[in-house]
Chain A
Amino acid sequence: MKRIFVNEDWCLGCHLCEYHCANANLGGVTARDMVRNLKGKDIVPRIQVEDGEDGIHFAVSCRHCYEPQCVRACITGALTQEDGVIRFNTEKCVGCYTCVLNCPYGCIMPSDPNEGQGHVVQKCELCLSNKTGEPACVAHCPNKAIVLEERD
């Protein structure tokens, strides 16, 4: 199965992937939809760029683990593993954040930008649930630091 990987030596720390991710998951298809979807909003991307010390940058999104601790810990059955992809069901999720407690990569987050209020979680689904047709972070990374590859 193809997964998203980041090459931290090539990551510029531009955070563009975060904007494209947020846009794609708010129904955007092209970069032109960004204004409508993101202007004036606090965005909550499913991929997050960490800016470390010494000029290190890297983007992190769901690893789609073979043995996903989030899925096993989920108290509702909202998180599932389907053909290797970790999916979530917002109807079933009650926002208890047991998955946040269990993800070793910090890749599941409350979907509310201000977090709290029992809001449901969200995570990368490799853009399978939106209209982009391919992972938006990969498609729009200007330095090809984020790739979709088979590394099994």
Chain B
Amino acid sequence: MSRLAMTFRQLRQQGRKALIPYVTAGYPGVDITPALMHVLVEAGADVIELGVPFSDPSADGPTIQAASEYALRQGIGLPQVLDQVQRFRESDTTTPVVLMGYANPIERYDMLRQPGAFAADAAAAGVDGVLVVDYPPEVSGRLGAQLRRHDIELIFLLAPTSTERRIRQVAECAGGYVYCVAVNGITGTQALDLVQVRDTLARIRRHVHTPVGVGFGVRDASTARAVAKVADAVVIGSWLIERLAEKPAAEALAAASNLIREVRHQLDLDAPESGPDHLSKPEPSEPQDPSHV
């Protein structure tokens, strides 16, 4: 069973919801990412979405754009992101890592190497899922097949505007989890509308049987909790990135830890067995032994 499937199964058995932080690789420091990922896991993250910087992130709002531009200035591209995942895997072999980004860096990676090189190298680095923002189902067949060969899940977005036909199309090819965009818009700029989220989730769940995560617009812990009541996972991106902005490494790691702990706490208030064992994770010395296993 894949790390993603395992993680969602365990959470389901415990009646808990997945907390999925998003961070841009190479932000807020060129070498901070593996350490930041460990801190997120220690604070209660179940899956990590790692953003691959791109020069033209047209689905992202100003916060993630700025993080992306910063990382690009530090020379972070897809090969460096894979290195960072590999370094993270040296001391965490259980937490799923999902790369989130745009098509062009992936296509370029294969063009300069060989077809399927990205899928093979991502697998070797320990990547579990890939979400390509500008690869809708119609054009993702080839990458999907290459990733499947290496047991990497191709993850898709669905939106409030997605028609039933498109939801069915995604249901047929979605792996891991489906990422439900909570608002019509870009990352990080609007507060989400819970009524709309519920409606979208209901429409999605008629066809999609993988777990469904909700992101874009989760900007505080109580919203995260409210979303988690109706979804299987909550994705936190821009809100987290804003907390890291322009901070030196130690402060950024502390800020990330605090935010994720706060959200984890809120999410677990609704877990049926929310005893103290499930409210926090063990000390940083044992990153490979998540308490909720």
Instruction: Tell whether A and B belong to one assembly.
Output: no
By a beta-carbon cutoff of 8 Å, the part of chain A in contact with chain B is none
